[in-house]
Amino acid sequence: MQLLQAFIALLVLFRSSASGVVVPRQSEITEDSYFYGQSPPVYPTPEMPGSGPWAVAYAKAVALVSQMTLEEKANVTVGHSTSTGCSGVTGSVPRLGWPGLCLSDAGNGLRATDLVNGWPSGIHVGASWNRDLAYQRALHMGGEFKTKGVNVALGPVIGPLGRVAKAGRNWEGISNDPYLGGELVYQTVLGIQTAGVITSVKHYIGNEQETNRNPSSNVSAVSSNIDDKTIHETYLWPFASAVHAGAGCVMCSYNRVNNSYSCQNSKLLNGLLKTELGFEGWVTSDWDAQHTGLSSTLAGLDVAMPNSSFWGTNGENLTLSVTNGSVPESRVTDMVTRIVASWYQMGQDTNFPVEGIGMPANYYDPHVTINARDPSSKPVLIDGAMEGHVLVKNTNNALPLNSPKMISIFGYDAQAPPANDIESASQVFGAWTVGGESILDYAGFFSPLPPPQIAINGTIISGGNGANSPAYISAPFDALNEQAYNDGTAIFWDFTSQDPTVDTSTDACLVFINAFATEGYDRVGLHDDYSDNLIENVAASCSNTIVVIHNAGPRLVDQWIENPNITAVIFAHLPGQDSGRALVQLLYGYESFSGKLPYTVAKNESDYINAGNPSEPEGIYELFPQSDFTEGVYIDYKGFDQNDITPRYEFGFGLTYTTFAYSDLDISLSPSVSTSCLPPSPENIIQGGIASLWDVVATVTAVVQNTGEVDASEIAQLYIGIPGGPVRQLRGFEKVLIEAGTSVTVSFDLLRRDLSEWDTGAQSWVLQQGQYGVWVGASSRILPLSGTLVIS
């Protein structure tokens, strides 16, 4: 609390007296240079370290780039027009046979092509809490990018982190907890890159809302104003994990940070990323996110996509800036060295398909069709779909279903959407709306209207825009029909009525709704009356109502959650193409639920204090919208804990078909590792930061017993109270399958990083002297085991 107050005081100070000036009135602010200078200058751009695991690729890149002319180098750094369907291509060097790179969307499956799989979205990966599954998904998905000749996958997404509950792209990211997001993005980067494809981890950084994410003719992009401690402990953390995994590319974001555009912010690019995190890769702009030539060059931007009006169509103005002495040629050489090294590092110099070969510009032209789907992906797709389902309520033994004689299926989200094709797939799920008012279609996507809160014409397996065309969709209704055939169950259904008739003979009523979100817009609410009324109407005449929500972000349930006729509720998230098939496995108990919430479900929107809504341009900041991250690190459960607000379902919560007991907590410091509370030596910087941050300082173990009748996986969670920090922070989790009646020991390694706080004075991570709280349990609020760890 003290910390927060101190930070608010600091912010007020820096807002009201940047260089001692009093804030002018709105009429006096005519251009945003008033705000500049808050992001400290960090120059020059560090050259690629080329160390450790990158040494060989670096040496090869240096050898190749040394043969390039300045013009050839500058040409590589800009996006070019292309006859492929790649989202973007870098320049090539035909004289030396260097082919250039094809970059394509997105983090949840290859977009704008056929014969690829529709994978679970980032939020679903987050809800699965499964490191190995995250790796397998990434490995198989990455293989599809490679088969189609895509060098760079434009993902994974770890920003937005999820600060703003209503933000439109939270579903692309993994979790608003930096530790959970960091662990799973680490595996995702490893998996995609092991498949031979460069990851472009995005969006760096502070891209926490869609509202005003880009400048318009008279209003600049929103500025995420983030203090040094908060950016390190929250927003930068998962990027550090991704860099530690060896990410070859990072994408800078649309927004500004401290009033400086992310793609020309030297503190972010030269400072945090390329110095502090020892980043070996290159920085690409988000599409059209470059706003200057010289400033972005010197701040550390390496590639401008999809082209550059600043560096020139073929980089001619970048060349000019070298010949006229504004930019050292070594800067341009470093840009290209980083790019070419990442190509060698992923082995793309041998047997890589022709760039963009599977990505024809016109999908419907006769073309050599390339099937990127590998049969070995099947178990990964279905496991991925199953494990992200979170059961939050299950009363009267509503689930699992057991050969019911009749079930009734209601709601617009039960059946497949009306179309699946390349042209419309990325928006098909959001192309329809309530009340006949069509809002989203392909042509009108960038219309100023907000998208509907729900996708009314069929089930959603992903959010909008950043999504791909799945190979097929197993809709809940399809899979339930198949199961009914096997069981001899009768099915009644009504997908359109808001007040359907319930047959009194039905054993259960399944109601399918969704909460839709898409790039470009923030959500207008966290629940909608149309769906809530539907649920209430069914529950009024059905005493066994089971609600399934496909949700692209947190979705409130308090309108009806305490209705005793609502016996089971599932947050089904965005499972990808095996959605229905996976759901039936869980509903009928062939598999046990094993997901847990990667965010908090509040009782009411206003409980997401500080950060429920995106910041709007207003008051004196009308032309220069400001988003002050005054809550510091206290987002999601850390804010609920700090303010003593009881959520409906806390972060980390999820039920299954059995129960678990926790015992035998053991906490031990590693005897041979230094626990000095001085800043660690910054000498040995590896990818991700100072090497010793990855030392195991302590280990915690506990025993988890399956006390029920059914085999199931538990996600055991470790929370730590770092002195001076939030009440509790997630610092370990293990997902383990435990057979009924048996026990397993779970073990959590605590790294120096996990136990340190960012010391703004020392500009380093430091261990805190004193008592650390240690808790182990089933969620952020179900913590049966507790102890302390003392660092002296």
Ligand X SMILES: *[C@@H]1O[C@H](CO)[C@@H](O)[C@H](O)[C@H]1NC(C)=O
Q: Which residues bind ligand X (CB under 6 A)?
A: 14, 38-39, 71-72, 75, 80, 91-94, 100, 218-219, 227-228, 257-258, 267-268, 293-294, 306-307, 309-310, 312-314, 317, 320-321, 324, 326, 418, 432, 436, 456-457, 539-543, 563, 565, 604-606, 622-623
Query: What backbone phi and psi angles, to 5 degrees, belong to 193?
Result: -75, -30
Tell me the CA distances in angstroms from 778 to 183, 652, 685, one per residue in order. 18, 7, 36
Residue 79 C-beta: closest distance to ligand X, Å: 8
Q: Name residues whose C-beta falls within 8 Å of residue 536's C-beta, 6 or more positions apart in sequence.
A: 559, 560, 563
Question: Helix or strand or coil: residue 110?
Answer: coil
Residue 52 C-beta: closest distance to ligand X, Å: 26
Q: Cβ of 495: how many Cβ atoms within 10 Å? A: 17
Residue number with CB closer to ligand X (154 or 192): 154
> Residue holding tokens 């983090």?
107
CA distance 158 to 171: 10
Q: Name residues whose C-beta falls within 8 Å of residue 715's C-beta, 6 or more positions apart in sequence.
A: 129, 594, 596, 652, 654, 733, 734, 735, 778
Closest of 247, 297, 293 to residue 273, by C-alpha: 247
Residue 161 C-beta: closest distance to ligand X, Å: 15
Residue number with CB closer to ligand X (441 or 749): 441
Q: Hey, what are 741's tokens?
A: 């009646």
Residue 107 C-beta: closest distance to ligand X, Å: 23
Phi-psi region of 591 (alpha: psi -120 to 50; beta: other; left: phi over 0): beta
Residue number with CB closer to ligand X (7 or 186): 7
Residue number with CB closer to ligand X (369 or 604): 604
Residue 312 C-beta: closest distance to ligand X, Å: 4
Residue 120 C-beta: closest distance to ligand X, Å: 25
> Residue holding tokens 């805190």?
768
Q: Hey, what are 314's tokens?
A: 């073929």
Q: Is 286 part of the annotated catalytic residue set?
A: yes
Residue number with CB closer to ligand X (333 or 585): 333
CA distance 139 to 199: 12
How many residues are recorded in the chain?
792
Residue number with CB closer to ligand X (361 or 737): 361
Q: Give long-range contacts, CB 8 A cutoff, 24+ apart: 55-63.
A: 56/344, 57/341, 57/342, 57/344, 57/345, 58/280, 58/337, 58/341, 60/340, 60/341, 60/344, 60/349, 61/337, 61/338, 61/340, 61/341, 61/343, 61/344, 62/337
> Residue holding tokens 């992903």?
462
Closest of 548, 688, 772, 667 to residue 238, by C-alpha: 688
Sheet of 743-751, strand order: 660-669, 696-706, 743-751
Residue number with CB closer to ligand X (205 or 750): 205
Tell me the CA distances in angstroms from 353 to 79, 92, 349, 545, 551, one per residue in order. 20, 15, 10, 51, 37
Residue 54 C-beta: closest distance to ligand X, Å: 25
Torsion angle defined by CA atoms of residues 598, 603, 606 and 607, in that order, rounded to the nearest 10 degrees = -60
Q: Is residue 159 within 8 Å of 235, Cβ to Cβ?
A: yes
Residue number with CB closer to ligand X (92 or 747): 92
Residue 84 C-beta: closest distance to ligand X, Å: 11
Residue number with CB closer to ligand X (40 or 741): 40
Query: What backbone phi and psi angles, to 5 degrees, belong to 476?
Result: -50, -40
Residue 609 C-beta: closest distance to ligand X, Å: 10
Residue number with CB closer to ligand X (360 or 732): 360
Residue number with CB closer to ligand X (130 or 290): 290
CA distance 246 to 181: 16
Q: Is residue 602 within 8 Å of 608, Cβ to Cβ?
A: yes
Its sign, for the CA torsion 170, 171, 173, 175, is: positive
Residue 331 C-beta: closest distance to ligand X, Å: 13
Residue 740 C-beta: closest distance to ligand X, Å: 33
Residue 288 C-beta: closest distance to ligand X, Å: 8
Q: Is residue 680 within 8 Å of 693, Cβ to Cβ?
A: yes
Closest of 162, 152, 1 to residue 88, by C-alpha: 152
CA distance 608 to 637: 9
Nearest-Å Rg of the Cα atoms of the chain is 26
3-state secondary structure 700-744: EEEEEEECCCCCEEEEEEEEEECCCCCCCEEEEEEEEEECCCCEE
CA distance 611 to 699: 34
What count of Cα atoms within 13 Å lies in the side-chain half-sphere of residue 568? Answer: 26
Residue 134 C-beta: closest distance to ligand X, Å: 29
Q: Is residue 775 within 8 Å of 783, Cβ to Cβ?
A: yes
Q: Which of 286, 478, 528, 636 is catalytic?
A: 286
Residue number with CB closer to ligand X (100 or 500): 100
Question: Helix or strand or coil: residue 775?
Answer: strand
Please report, as a single letter, which amino acid is at residue 102: C
Residue number with CB closer to ligand X (81 or 350): 81
**Which residues does the annotation mark as catalytic?**
286
